[in-house]
């Protein structure tokens, strides 16, 4: 049980309760939309491009921030929770097309950038086929 008053601190005052098995259809396209964009960690200020996203078994969704190359030497990349990541500019490379069906040809980037406001996987797939 969560102590009184801590619920808002954890979930925010406008959090809507949801079942554990209820799908989070907005989280996947939103997290994937960070790929290839310049980003900054809100806590540390670390900057770079989001080069990878991971969804782990414990519910954490993290983005790998890869800093720019300096003096021909790559910097060390670090993982940050996607809730801490903010986009700082326009995409620097196309996002991969993760919604191809088996047997489809890969003919360039057809994945639309999700708007992160309730876009489901099915909606993103429909847009990528057009």
For every residue of 104-125, DSSP letters joined together read: ----S--PPPP-SSS--HHHHH
Residue that the structure tokens 């989070």 belong to: 24
The tens digit of pLDDT for each residue in 74-111 reads: 999 999 999 999 999 999 887 776 655 545 555 555 55
Is 60 part of any domain? yes
Is 85 part of any domain? yes
Q: pTM for the full model?
A: 0.59
How many separate domains does the chain show?
A: 1
Is 21 part of any domain? no
The pLDDT score that the predictor gives to residue 73 is: 93
């Amino acid at each position: 049980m969560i102590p009184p008053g801590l619920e808002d601190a954890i979930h925010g005052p406008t959090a809507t309760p949801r079942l554990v098995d209820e799908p989070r259809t907005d989280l996947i396209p939103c997290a994937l939309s960070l790929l290839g964009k310049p980003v900054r960690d809100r806590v540390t200020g670390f900057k770079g491009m989001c080069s990878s996203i991971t969804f782990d078994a414990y519910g954490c969704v993290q983005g790998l921030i890869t800093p720019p190359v300096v003096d021909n030497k790559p910097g060390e990349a670090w993982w940050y929770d996607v809730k801490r990541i903010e986009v700082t500019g326009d995409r620097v490379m196309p996002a991969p097309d993760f919604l191809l069906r088996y047997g489809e040809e890969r003919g360039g980037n057809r994945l639309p950038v999700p708007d992160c406001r309730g876009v489901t996987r099915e909606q993103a797939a429909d847009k990528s086929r057009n």
